[in-house]
Amino acid sequence: MAFSGAALLAALPLALAQSSSSAAVTPIPSGLPFPDTTYPNATVPYAVAGAQTNQTSPPSYPAPWGEGLGDWADAYQQARAFVSQLTLTEKVNLTTGVGWQGEQCVGNNGAIPRLAFKSMCLQDSPLGVRFGDFATAQPAGVTIAATWDRSLFYLRGLNMGEEHRDKGVDIFLGPVVGPLGRAPAGGRNWEGFSPDPYLSGVAVAETVRGVQDANVIACTKHYILNEQEHFRQGPPPDYLTEALSSNIDDKTMHELYLWPFVDAVRAGTGAMMCSYQQINNSYGCQNSYTMNHLLKNELGFQGFILSDWDAQHSGVASALAGLDQTMPGDESFDSGTAYWGGNLTIAVLNGTIPQWRIDDMAVRIMAAYYYVDRPGHEVDTNFDSWTQDTFGFQHFFASEDYRQVNWHVDVQQNHGQDARNFAAKGTVLLKNTGGLPLTGQEKLTAVFGSDAAENQYGPNGCPDRGCDNGTLAMGWGSGTANFPYLITPLEAIKAEVRSHRGSVESVIDDYAYGQITALSRRVAQPLVGGACIVFANSDAGEGYIVVDYNEGDRNNLTLWHNGDDLINAVAAECNNTIVVMHTVGPVLVNAWYENPNITAIVWAGIPGQESGNAITDILYGKVNPGGKTPFTWGDSRGSYGSDLLYQTNNGVNAPQDNFENGVFIDYRAFDRLGETPVYEFGFGLSYTTFEYSNLQVQSQQAGAYVPTSGQTPPAPTYGSVGDAADFVYPTDFHRVEAYIYPFINSTNLRQSSGDPAYGVNVSYPAGAFDDGAQPYLAAGSNVAPGGNQQLYDLMFTITADVTNTGDVVGDEVPQLYLSLGGPDEPAVVLRGFERLTVQPGETAQFQAQLCRRDLSNWDVVSQNWVITSYPKTIYVGSSSRKLPLQQALDIPAGVAAPAPASSSAAASGSAAVSSSAAASGSAAASSSAAASGSAAASSSAAASSSVAVSGSVAAQSSAGAVTQISDGQIQAPSAAPTTIVTQISDGQIQAAASSSTA
């Protein structure tokens, strides 16, 4: 806690939010309005695919208030009761982080001591407890996706949830479905699951359920279109004034990138993390269309939206656009200033933010807290993110309150064995002409490559795994965790070979070609015999770390450390060469994969701490490989249909990344371009063989699809705002340096703000203050989260027989693909899968179900899902290109298109948006009446502050002007300070760097 003594802590009625004394702030230009947002077609609320740069995102107001839909009802009842007891500053504390390194976790909001409510702990990562000790380092998302096993998706989530819970974490910053993986070189693709939205949707839903069944809030991230590391945060490089803009069309958004987020919402994810980059030139954490319209309105999301770390660019604007919590709370790391904190208190007091909005923020946060039953499973935080020492400072940045900060609690349970199983079952056998499985009786086993051995600095020797030394078991960045141990392939193979009294030698220098050639030649001698196992990798991570000139994103799709040369050197001498790759995604294997001396190729993914044991299980046949590749392997980079933006293309302004490829990414792009993959999506071999037969399709009785109609209740409020005098800093209050508090400096709000432009009369977004009943969207829901619930009506049940025709037990993953028909649709899209264990000579039945959503396309005119009249065909097989079974679907009449909607968007609940910037489905309330010309002022301490002018103004700086952007937002000043602390995702920091540092 930030108070100087236990007695004061117990006595104070208010908790923690912003520090520092009064300071002058740069005035905001008077009369600065929200710009009108126009676009070519009023029924298409996005840029069309292939459009030019500088697209815009339509405004959508007011921010929908949570209702407690579906199984959230009880949680909302408890949350409303709790929030009804709170003062304004206590509500602000729930919404605002205490600042970077202000407490023990990568993120903490303020506590409420009066009600014995402790600060919430938010912690990475999506594969383990980041910065924690004695916790499991699980396989990455891309590896668990390769298992294609729902039960393992869930179990991994449960294991991670249990470990975060027992370390004292309240909010688990994961799982990841953004990036989805639009381009194979994307730096953080490995944190997520697959570029296929259906596979990713199943994986994220099961992970969310697992995490939250352990009574920890899951925070699905990064919402949305965060598909590359280059330019995602704007400066640096210092010549950029804005972050990259991902420009997308409406259909692609719904059918591809939003798809897995819908599954996370349906699974009950308690939180969503908005992303750094812009979306059609509006920052992700102040984009009212993606947050208000899509997530909270159309999808009926009942939890709360929190910002990525320092992804907030405005005060009131972000609040009105739907942001509910800001992390880590300060405007920039350890600045001591904040867009919210005291700013938010002032904004509510002067009416710039309506009370119902701050109440909804607080209720959403607390509803997620009750939804996972945190009160019954709270554990005090027993680790520290900033030191591994037992004793340290509670407030690390301020170096205050020295005490015990680490209890070194071992939370691993038996999860290491699970991690080994996950990694083995996520291993994909890509080629096998007799090299595998090994018997253990090989006379000489030779192991090659640095990827087989340990990092010379130790498994945790590079901060956030920011290097590519030794075996690759984890990418780099905030999506990492500390290894409690790391079993390398070399030590596991040695143990296996020695158990059979064989010989094993190794060369782990990737460039020692003389020794490599000599050892390879020895293995191939007629009286020796054995196996040459070559390990190679390809790494990637988050952009705040640069490894071998790769700024997070990969520069190319080749193996690192000249892996191709290493493999060819071995294969030139050894006629039984087995290649094992640890990679974050696909690599180009053209240079060697067809070499007849290469008898097996294995993709071992990003396997976590049990790497060596898992790959040995596969190589020696203890586990029959059953993994399937969750992405496509091509023979050129151009085959993928889309790529990253490595160079700026818009002067000093936001680089424009146009998603011109639409829904055609990965295997969909290969199919559209007529490219033949090396290994297609869903491909994977086994030590046995399978046959498919007896496809059966049973039509289910589904009713007509009716658009949702009706209206929400009016916005509720809880308690009263109170007077400014109630929220002034208490006398003799000790302010921890750079800590963010909710208090104000005086009862005179103008003076407390320190802003000469306080009270300037500006325009507000239409409908932003409207607290009346709002129409539901036609594609939305008034019943449960996830959109119109009739989308999940069962329409077909499909079965097929899978027979093991070999002589060993094995796992097979039958896959169901669907052709939606139509000239602009993918050839096939994944719509079902199941991992089956089949005994030799036996037959198992595969079953999948198709719901209305699976068969539908997004219609940009009606703003709803429709089943088109084009013929639909299903295919079942072992991969996206091996589909021996097929059958046409007979869509029953009357269930395809939704019933006709009213031409009025407001009446029908459709999302048609007029070009006049009126929020779709919301009344266009008079902004001047709502605001009376008041402007939320910046915090007393903010030299660079969020002065809230009609909810639109971002931080002010004497160095730069405020720049308008779309969606009624005004972005941060263009000029960067001379020296900065480079902020990176989800609670991580890079050393202080000049503004020119990338």
- Supply the residues annotated as catalytic: 308
Residue 62, preceding bond cis, omega within 30 degrees?
yes
Between CA 534 and CA 602 the distance in angstroms is 10
CB atoms within 10 A of CB 576: 22
- CB 289 within 8 Å of CB 45: yes
CA gap 910, 337 in Å, rounded: 40
CB half-sphere exposure, 69, CA atoms < 13 A: 28
CA distances, 890 to each of 631, 700, 721, 873 (Å) = 31, 11, 59, 9
> Can you tell me the distance from the alpha carbon of 275 to that of 255, in angstroms, rounded to the nearest whole number?
19
With beta carbons less than 8 A apart as the criterion, state whether 559 and 549 touch. no
Task: Please name every residue paired with 843 in a beta bridge, in sequence order, or none if there are none.
Answer: 803
**Angle between helical axes of 73-83 and 355-371 (0-180°, round to 10):** 130
Dihedral angle at the C-alpha atoms of 271, 275, 276, 280, nearest 10 degrees? -140
Instruction: Give the alpha-carbon dihedral of 546, 548, 554, 559, to 10 degrees.
Output: -150
Phi, psi of 262 (to 5 degrees): -60, -45
* Token pair recorded at residue 855: 């068969």
| Distance set, CA 787 to CA 25, 223, 293, 550, 843 (Å) | 44, 17, 12, 40, 38
The DSSP line for 957-972 is: BTTB--EEETTTEEEP
How far apart CA 898 and CA 880 sit, in angstroms, is 31
Rounded distance between C-alpha atoms, residue 578 and residue 541, angstroms: 27
Give residue 434's identity as a one-letter amino acid code.
G
331 torsion bin: left (phi>0), alpha (psi -120 to 50), beta (else): alpha
Per DSSP bridges, beta strands 278-279 and 428-432 are unpaired
873 beta partners? 819, 888
Q: How many residues does the chain have?
A: 998
- Residue 458 to residues 438, 475, 763, Cα–Cα distance (Å): 29, 15, 57
958 Cβ contact partners less than 8 Å away, ≥ 6 residues apart: 26
Secondary structure letter of residue 13 according to DSSP = S
Give the chain's largest Cα–Cα span.
93
Helix (H) or strand (E) run with residue 666 in it = none
Nearest to 191 by CA among 465, 399, 400, 410: 465
